[in-house]
Amino acid sequence: MIRHECLQLLAARMSDQLVVTSQSGQRIEWSHLAKHEGNLLVGMMGCAIGVATGLALALPHRKVIALDSDGSVLLSLFNLATLGNLQPKNLVIYVFDNGVYSGSRISYPTATAGNTDLAGMARSAGIANAHTVGDIEDFKVKGLDALAQDRLGFFVCKVEESLLHREIPRPDTDLTENKYTFVRYLERTEKKTIPFIGRG
């Protein structure tokens, strides 16, 4: 299984969900597969789950999805403990775990290439609906079904390292443009003003 296969399946299910992506190739692959105003391409490791959690808490009636990687989750393990207690029902997290720091271009192993089990850690932190997904059929069942559930989900998708994203054009919107597109989309679909936008 490679990440792109999973993202293709997810992209086909998108309607009004809000999707927060981390750094790594999934940001590029997702922005190419799902051109949607509800995408927030955060683009920094160790931040996506926190931002997605804040969105999920602020908008409990909207489904929020975080796309993350093993290296990024290892950088922000405190998220597991917080989510284990908050249990936002509208948040689903997919961790694409290739076991390497792929973006480093030397593909050195992350802790998950050794003894570390992120899904096990999440369960121990209180996220009962945390699972390791081993192949694409497993992803179709566990991963996609989670979108329809009213329950916090944490899915560690074991993927082969893929460099497909290097053949895909990178997003041509910068972080600020993406943020305003996202916020305007929220204003339109939530029919409310986001306070900090204000008036000039």
Partner 1 sequence: MKDDLAKRLVQGLKDAGINFVTYLPETRLSQIVPLIRDDAAMELIAAASEHEAVTIAAGATLGGKQGAVYMENTGIYVSSYGLLTIGKQLGVPILLVVGYLGGVPDQRNSFLYSTIGQHTIPMLDGLGIEHQVIEDGERLEAKIKDAVRAANAQRAPFALLFAGEFSE
Q: What are phi and psi of 97, to 5 degrees?
A: -105, 100
Nearest to partner 1 of 85, 104 (CB atom): 85
How far apart, in whole angstroms, are the C-alpha atoms of residue 159 and residue 133?
A: 9
Q: How many other β-carbons are positioned within 10 Å of the β-carbon of residue 197? A: 11
Site string for partner 1, 53-72 (x = CB under 8 A): xxxxxxx-------------
- Tell me which of 9, 11, 51, 164 binds partner 1, using CB under 8 A: 51
For residue 33, give the amino acid letter.
L
CB of 163 to partner 1, least distance (A): 25
> In sequence order, what are the residues at sequence separation of 6 or more whose Cβ sits closer than 8 angstroms to the Cβ of residue 11?
30, 33, 34
Q: Contact, 20 vs 67, CB < 8 A?
A: yes
Reduce the DSSP state of residue 188 to 3 states and report it: helix
Size of the site for partner 1 (CB under 8 A): 37
Q: Determine, following the binding rule CB under 8 A, whether residue 171 of this chain makes contact with partner 1.
A: no
Q: Determine, following the binding rule CB under 8 A, whether residue 11 of this chain makes contact with partner 1.
A: no
- Tell me which of 46, 99, 153, 171 binds partner 1, using CB under 8 A: 46
Binding residues for partner 1, per CB under 8 A? Answer: 20, 40, 42, 44, 46-47, 49-59, 76, 78-79, 81-82, 85-86, 175-176, 179, 182-183, 186, 190, 192-196, 198
